[in-house]
Amino acid sequence: MQAIKASSFHLPRLNPVALITLAAASLIGAPVAIAIFTGVIGGGGDAWLHIVSTQLLGYTMTTLAVIGLTAALILLFAVPTAWFVSLNEFPGRGFFEWALILPLAAPGYVLAYAWADAADVAGPIQSALRDVTGLSARDYWFPSVYSIPGLSFVMASALFPYAYLTARAAFSNLSLCTMEAARSLGASPRRLFLNVALPAARPAIFAGLALALMETAADYGAASYLGVQTLSVGIFRAWHSFSEPAVAARLAVLLILIAFGLQFIERMARGRGGIQQTATRWRTPRRQKLGPVAGWGVAIGCTLVLVLSFVIPVSRLIWVSTETGLGQGQIVRPFLNSLTLALAGSAFAFVLALTITIGARQNRFSQFIGRFAAGAGYAAPGIVLALGALFILSWTGFSVAGPAALIFLVWIYASRFTAAGAEPLNAAFSRAPASLGNAARSLGASRFQRLVRVDLPVAMSGASAAAIILFVETLKELPATLMLRPFNWDTLAVQAFAYASDERLAAATLPSLLITAAGLGPVVLLSLQLTRAGQSRAAG
């Protein structure tokens, strides 16, 4: 697809495609625009001044500290594992290649509940420690999950696969010639990694990292449960506990600035190099076999990352739920509610994603406006978008408790996740030859016929991936659902959060496990697809 050139960008004639894309982009971008507008224009009054003098610095510094620490942990988890899995042969490599993506299935808040229970004084880890050492609880120090480092660890566990995936792709795409040239110039494996591979993969690693950190900044469930006072928690509290939506909107602007700041840093880090692309004739380097000591050392390292990020928390949830029986709490209604909202939200997001993807093929204006709106919606935390929707609800006089709120919630899901759904649809087009549209034109196909006979079928080859991603993202969403759902309309995520917050972890496990199980399917699918793509590239 052609890049947008500022010098040749013109407003197009108002053709139907541009108008439809503009309408879709407006729907996607409206909640974030309204939240920003209200935050900037609306006065916060005394409450805002009070927040500024007492809590603003704390919220901001805590959020930045969580982001910084999470970034460091993600790099620690993702980069070495990606390097060894891509370019080295060691025991279990084939398993770790896909298994290290599994943590993506569990949302951060679910890992937070599990870790809080597992690492509790009465939990299995500390109990085992006492059993082995014979110490009592007062005789030793144990790190608390209810802290900035604890939250950072939980978020890094849930989100490091983003950076792992992009780093793995970048390492696999390294040119054999570059690596062999470096080796022939006497580069040791360490220098090869630090001076050749890492700089080449840096843009891709930063792209994955930025995505993970935007999710970290947007998190409400884990931070709130672990009692870490981030901006998201502050926004929710300003709106819910203090009934100060104007203050919440001002805090939301700060959070958006942080999200956009992360995007900006990612672009800066990308530099002039851009993300390395795989050329058709690019040969993937052959994996180097590690010696037995190094090989088993790497295997143990990978195991440790997987156990800490996925195996311990998920098996703890399974243990608790089987120990206490699955009948804790009502599950059918929240399950059906989740299903209904996820289906409606993902369907709406899918239609919008399809509209902006096809619109982008038609003219540069549609391409720009669609991508800009989807990017803004994706960067904005769910809590901010929900705030935007609440402002619209109050201006239009609809009841927050009525069915209108549900429609708004579906809208917010679409606004937040359209970009994620557009990604696989775009990928479907990028795999297709660039001159497809002109070929269809030369064969007499009108604009409408091209849409129906070429663009839609080509986009639909990415449809199943888009639909699955959208469904799972919507199912996992917590803060916007928490703010916008009508009374008595709990979803699995909301119910898990409510039970966990009430210290009824046993009851929270089943909805948490259901969300994780729903996430596992697409993650395994994605993992298999990526592995197969890697194998066919290596074979080709």
Q: What is the DSSP letter of 42?
A: S
Stretch that binds another protein, among 62-70, 72-80, 196-204, 440-448 (CB under 8 A): 440-448
174 phi/psi in degrees, rounded to 5: -60, 140
**Residue number, 271 or 540, with CB nearest to another protein:** 540
With CB under 8 A as the contact rule, the residue among 308, 407, 436, 498 that binds another protein is 436
C-alpha span between 533 and 388 (Å, rounded): 41
Quote the least distance from Cβ 420 to another protein, whole Å.
23
Stretch 2-21 residues interacting with another protein (CB under 8 A): 7-8
Please give the radius of gyration of the chain, using alpha carbons only, rounded to the nearest integer.
24
**Residue number, 399 or 438, with CB nearest to another protein:** 438
C-alpha span between 114 and 239 (Å, rounded): 28
| Residue 405 near residue 485 (C-beta atoms within 8 A) | yes
Stretch that binds another protein, among 82-90, 241-249, 302-310, 444-452 (CB under 8 A): 444-452
Size of the site for another protein (CB under 8 A): 23
Q: What DSSP element (H or E) covers 89?
A: strand 88-89
C-alpha span between 190 and 202 (Å, rounded): 16
Quote the least distance from Cβ 313 to another protein, whole Å.
41
Stretch 172-231 residues interacting with another protein (CB under 8 A): none
**Residue number, 56 or 459, with CB nearest to another protein:** 459
Quote the least distance from Cβ 1 to another protein, whole Å.
14
Question: If binding is defined by CB under 8 A, does position 431 make contact with another protein?
Answer: yes
Question: If binding is defined by CB under 8 A, does position 61 make contact with another protein?
Answer: no
Question: If binding is defined by CB under 8 A, does position 438 make contact with another protein?
Answer: yes
Question: If binding is defined by CB under 8 A, does position 451 make contact with another protein?
Answer: no
**Residue number, 458 or 523, with CB nearest to another protein:** 458
Question: If binding is defined by CB under 8 A, does position 432 make contact with another protein?
Answer: yes
Q: Of all residues in the chain, what percent are helix, strand and coil, respectively (each to 5)?
A: 80, 0, 20
| Residue 417 near residue 352 (C-beta atoms within 8 A) | no
Question: If binding is defined by CB under 8 A, does position 535 make contact with another protein?
Answer: no
User: Rounded to an integer, what is the distance from CA 519 to the centroid of its chain?
Assistant: 12
Q: Is 514 helix (H, G, I), strand (E, B) or coil?
A: helix
CA angle at residue 200 from 197 to 204, to 5 degrees? Answer: 110
Question: If binding is defined by CB under 8 A, does position 252 make contact with another protein?
Answer: no
Question: If binding is defined by CB under 8 A, does position 444 make contact with another protein?
Answer: yes
**Residue number, 47 or 530, with CB nearest to another protein:** 530
State both tokens at 58. Answer: 């704390």
Question: If binding is defined by CB under 8 A, does position 466 make contact with another protein?
Answer: no
Quote the least distance from Cβ 430 to another protein, whole Å.
11
Helix ranges restricted to H, 89-139: 93-99, 108-118, 124-133
Stretch that binds another protein, among 13-21, 434-442, 464-472, 474-482 (CB under 8 A): 434-442
Question: If binding is defined by CB under 8 A, does position 454 make contact with another protein?
Answer: yes
Phi-psi group of 317: left, alpha or beta (phi > 0 → left; psi -120 to 50 → alpha; rest → beta): alpha
Q: What DSSP element (H or E) covers 450?
A: helix 447-450
Question: If binding is defined by CB under 8 A, does position 458 make contact with another protein?
Answer: yes
Interface with another protein (CB under 8 A): 7-8, 431-436, 438-446, 453-454, 457-458, 460-461
